[in-house]
A and B are shown apart, each in its own frame.
Chain A
Amino acid sequence: MTPDLPTAKAGSTHLLEVRNLATRFATSGGYVQAVDGVSFHIDEGEILGLVGESGCGKSVTSLSVMRLIPNPPGEITDGEVLFEGTDLRQISEQEMRRVRGGSIGMIFQEPMTSLNPVLTVGRQITEAFEIHLDLKGRAARDRAVEILNRVGLPDPSKKFDDYPHQLSGGQRQRAMIAMAISCNPRLLIADEATTALDVTIQAQILELLQSLCDEFKMALLIITHNLGVVARYAQRVAVMYAGKIIESGTADEIYAAPQHPYTTGLLSSVPRLDASARDRLESIEGEIPDLANLPAGCAFEPRCRWAVDRCGIESPVQLPVRLSQGRLAEGTVHQVACWESENIAAGTALEKQPS
């Protein structure tokens, strides 16, 4: 289907490689195909941004990687999740528990779900030390306090003995981040980790995470709807819409020359700090489709001004972005799933008349 991708069968040369992942939920309105054939990879020390609007399947993607999809109603129906060469879908639950919080850390979108209300913040970190690092007692405590300090929690040795409800929202979020990085994960998944925080705190945390990638070659998957955060920190970007990755590439490629009309629309919807005030924002018309009742063909077709007949019938596949002469740009990783993208780029696409 995607002829230009490497077709290694088993194993993977990447730290994490997700292939053709599919996850759905049974609901009263039918199956919700929350993740629909998603593929991406991350290498050591790399930062990948997964962006898209609410409900497009970002969290379900990351929870599927961690095998934390509640079943029922959820179910991973297809795909491989290769981490350090092993398919996480094939290992036992016991082995998976060693991966979670060990070699893969995760910061969840809802902080209260991942903090245990009856354990002190410090105990939750030292518990992970016992399981994953065989570290106990005074040494464990010292190290936990040091990590709490690193995430910018004020008065860390006192906060060590506090219960989650004694912390403010922002402090709780930072305690969670401390837990996620405490066992030196090879990969950290940060699902809207800083969305609820003030920008000055967000900057503190993201600078810290970036330094962990630089110093310890930790890989970081930043999941967010904030296109600015991704531009600042990620080397590569994947854009999701209605359960699919519709465009991916280096951050420079995607921001300078977006190929999918949805990506283009998103980028021009965002007010920019450096843009002159009062320029009218280009907005994308309409709203996100209901995942239980997806239209045939491309899910973006109903909102797309460039859609042609084919778009409403046949689902577009991800293909490498070609230069105007049809060649691949050297070393490009830029891919897009749009039937009309080449015509749009060449200026030969026809705009749909508003009905």
Chain B
Amino acid sequence: MTTRLVGQDSSDRGGIGADSETNTTLSVNDLKVHFPISSGFLIRRQTGAVKAVDGVSFDVAPGETLGLVGESGSGKTTTGRAILQLQRPTSGSVQFRGVELTAVSAKQMRPFRSEMQIIFQDPYGSLNPRMSAGQIVGEPLTVHGLAGDKNQRRDRVAELLERVGMNPAMIGRYPHEFSGGQRQRIGIARALAGEPSFIVCDEPVSALDVSIQAQILNLLTDLQAEFNISYLFIAHDLSVVRHISDRVAVMYLGKIMELASSEDLYENPTHPYTRALMSAVPIPDPILERRRERIVLAGDIPSPINPPSGCVFRTRCPIATEECAEVVPELIDRGNRHQVACIKV
């Protein structure tokens, strides 16, 4: 956080609901997304719920990257989608530059759709195969009325492609003619077209080879510095998340277990889940690896339909006691904005 340029007044974007008083781009409070499960043949009724996101709170400052890390099914994607109102939350609050998005109608969401963007893991699946690179990148310009005439639009598309490191001569090519890394660049150019101040990056580099992954991570870092964009960076790879994020939230079964600055989390992991997760991530250094502590967790992540009572991590936790089955641990600030949800540490 210290070396970053933050706090630039967002009102110069001329955006909606710009609130120069608050220094948060996004504020999420006790967010819940429960997917109903119904059964019955003739009369369907709700018999339970998948608690995909179950009481999540965090803030994102302008120009800041908040990393969201957790294992498969922990609720990362659902959190991202609920923030963008692509999935309406069951309860809780999502404030974007002071505007309560959960209270905004689908129609009123329109201007926010250009300011808040999303980049997906699978660039192939998320790009329309029948549209050329130029059409894909240009579409948001038309939809949000951001480009004047045809020529201006064309120039802007070329400029965007160039900005993400692609040759504008490729404007007429189709998704299948590009490599995975190039497709991800197109997805980023499309997101940039809306001149966003906030982007949900949902596993943007997970499908890429390491040499290409590094190119894309560097690109995202450069774009953020240039345009002061806030990122919610979702990934299951802790090394990637540490690299790109200012602060990191660790999720497990729909809840945040620990949230701290990137440095602090890695120097001083406190929650037993964070510690186990970190020790499971191998470091590309064999000599160092021989000295590292290895905490191997037993078993699987429980089902979010019937999460364990009390602390959801207790069934795999090496230090859990009976008390952990009764008390739902709150995410408490231990100083220095380092928040931990555990009654044992």
Report if A and B associate in a common complex: yes
Chain A residues packing against B (C-beta within 8 Å): 53-54, 152, 154, 170-171, 198-204, 207, 225-234, 251-252, 255-256, 265-267, 269-285, 287-288
Are the CB atoms of B286 and A199 closer together than 8 Å? no
Q: Which residue of B lies closest to A199 (CB)?
A: B280
CB of A233, distance to nearest CB on chain B (Å): 8
Q: Which residues of A contact B287 (CB under 8 A)?
A: 252, 255-256
> Which of B210, B245, B297 has a CB less than 8 Å from the CB of A269?
B210
Contact of B213 among A171, A233, A267, A269 (CB under 8 A): A269
Taking the closest CB of chain B, its distance from the CB of A91, in whole angstroms, is: 36
Whether the pair B280, A281 counts as a contact (CB closer than 8 A) is no
Looking at the complex, which one of B181, B263, B278, B297 makes contact with A204 (CB distance below 8 Å)? B297
Residues of chain A lying within 8 A (CB to CB) of residue B278 = 273
Measured between alpha carbons, how far is A229 from B3 in the docked complex, in Å? 32
Known pairs A200-B276, A207-B294, A278-B3; A255 contacts B285 (CB<8 A) = yes
Instruction: Bits for B202-226, please: 1 = Cβ < 8 Å to A, else 0.
Output: 0000000111111101100100000
Write out the residue numbers on chain A whose beta carbons fall within 8 Å of the beta carbon of B262: 277
Q: How far is the CA of A194 from the CA of B71 in the complex (A)?
A: 14
A-B contact pairs, 13 of them (CB 8 A): A198-B71, A203-B279, A204-B298, A232-B283, A269-B213, A271-B217, A273-B281, A274-B283, A276-B263, A277-B243, A277-B262, A284-B211, A287-B212
Contact A269 B300 (CB under 8 A): no
Would you call B181 and A287 a contact (CB within 8 A)?
A: yes
Residue in B209, B280, B289 whose CB lies within 8 Å of A200 = B280
Partner pick for B284 among A170, A204, A255, A265, CB 8 A cutoff: A255
Q: Does B238 contact A (CB under 8 A)?
A: yes
Q: Assuming A207-B294, A275-B243, is B211 touching A283 (CB within 8 A)? A: yes
Among residues of B, the one whose C-beta sits closest to the C-beta of A49 is: B286
Using CB atoms and an 8 Å cutoff, list the residues of chain B in contact with chain A: 3, 71-72, 179, 181-182, 209-215, 217-218, 221, 236, 238-240, 242-246, 262-263, 266, 276-289, 294, 296-301
Contacts of A201 in B (CB 8 A): 300
Shortest A256–chain B CB gap in Å is 7
Contacts of B71 in A (CB 8 A): 198-200
In the bound complex, do residue B240 and residue A271 qualify as a contact, i.e. CB atoms below 8 Å apart? yes
Q: Which residues of the other chain, B, contact A170 by a CB distance below 8 angstroms? A: 72, 300
Verify B289–A232 contact, CB threshold 8 A: yes
Q: Are A272 and B218 in contact (CB under 8 A)?
A: no
Contact between chains at B299 and A266 (CB < 8 Å): no
Q: Which residue of B lies closest to A274 (CB)?
A: B283
Which residues of chain B are within 8 angstroms of A234 by Cβ–Cβ distance? Answer: 286
Instruction: Determine whether the beta carbon of A203 is less than 8 Å from that of B211.
Output: no
Which chain A residues lie closer than 8 Å to B214 at the CB level? 269-271, 281-284
Bound: A328/B295 CA distance, A: 40
Cα distance, A226 to B210, chains bound together (Å) = 9
Q: Which B residues lie within 8 Å of A273 (CB)?
A: 238-239, 242, 266, 278, 281, 283
* CA gap between A204 and B276 in the complex, in Å: 12
Instruction: Return the contact of B285 from the options A152, A231, A287 (Cβ within 8 A).
Output: A231
Shortest C-beta distance, A220 to chain B (Å), equals 15
Best-surrounded residue of B276, B285, B297 (most CB of chain A within 10 A): B285
Interchain CB contact under 8 A, B217 and A152: no
Chain B CB within 10 A, most for which of A199, A229, A276: A199
Q: How far is the CA of A202 from the CA of B276 in the complex (A)?
A: 12
Minimum CB–CB distance for A274 against chain B, Å: 5
Residues of A within 8 A of B280 (CB): 199-200, 202-203
Which one of B72, B213, B286 lies within 8 Å of A252 (CB-CB)?
A: B286
Which among B72, B263, B284 has the highest number of chain A CB atoms within 10 Å? B284
